């Protein structure tokens, strides 16, 4: 949750240095509505590493697909690029998502940090864990063996570091 887009790019560079270079991949962001998928992707793809606030009328409808040119070049394969699929999180779009899921893609399962008091956060944790498990189950059912990276957004809105740590640890224990 604290490493950010720069750490993700460093991870991808390390993978390129230690394995077969693949210069083009698909990156899919999934999770519930208003979880921060679009803003996270915008920040990841932005040279400044920032995103503007997403207004209500700018929410993702269905699946938004864009090309991300990272600017990172390898000697072996040229510039690293991604087809980025930003899946709308509203339940009405769920039946169509299955048509866009791919075996050779990176999946980011995004959830929004709760901004409640410590006591209320503890009460709401099962809902967060259930949401994460539902998405993981759906992905594993549709794309068996897929690797999923968990991303917690809006970390700065948590009431305290203790509340945020509690959420991240709960999700970690739930999925292991």
> pLDDT tens digits, residue range 104-138?
899 999 999 988 787 887 888 888 889 899 889 98
Give me the residues paired with residue 86 across strands.
29, 64
User: How confident is the model over 89-108, as a mean pLDDT?
Assistant: 75
Instruction: Compute φ and ψ for 168, nearest 5 degrees.
Output: -65, -45
* Ordered domains of the chain (ranges, CATH): 4-175 (3.40.50.300)
Q: pTM for the whole thing?
A: 0.79
pLDDT at 29: 93
pLDDT digits (tens, 9 = 90+) for 19-71: 666 788 999 999 988 788 888 898 888 888 777 766 666 666 667 789 999 88
Q: What is d(CA 150, CA 128) in angstroms, rounded to the nearest whole number?
A: 12
Q: Could you tell me what percentage of the chain is helix, strand and coil, using 3-state DSSP and rounding each to the nearest 5?
A: 45, 25, 30
What pLDDT was estimated at residue 56?
63
């Amino acid at each position: 949750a604290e490493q950010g887009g720069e750490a993700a790019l460093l991870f991808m560079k390390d993978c390129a240095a230690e394995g077969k270079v693949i210069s083009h991949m698909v990156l899919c962001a999934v999770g519930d509505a208003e979880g921060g998928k679009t803003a996270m992707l915008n920040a990841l793809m932005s040279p400044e590493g920032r995103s503007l606030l997403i207004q209500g009328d700018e929410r993702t409808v269905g699946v938004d697909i864009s090309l991300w040119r990272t600017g990172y070049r390898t000697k072996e394969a040229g510039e690293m690029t991604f087809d980025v699929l930003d899946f709308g999180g509203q339940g009405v779009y769920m039946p169509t998502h299955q048509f866009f899921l791919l075996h050779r893609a990176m999946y980011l399962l995004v959830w929004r940090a709760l901004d409640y008091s410590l006591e209320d956060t503890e009460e709401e944790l099962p809902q967060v864990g259930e949401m994460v498990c539902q998405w993981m189950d759906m992905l594993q059912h549709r794309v068996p063996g897929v690797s999923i990276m968990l991303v917690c957004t809006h970390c700065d809105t948590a009431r305290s570091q203790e509340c945020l740590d509690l959420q991240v640890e709960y999700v970690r224990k739930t999925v292991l």
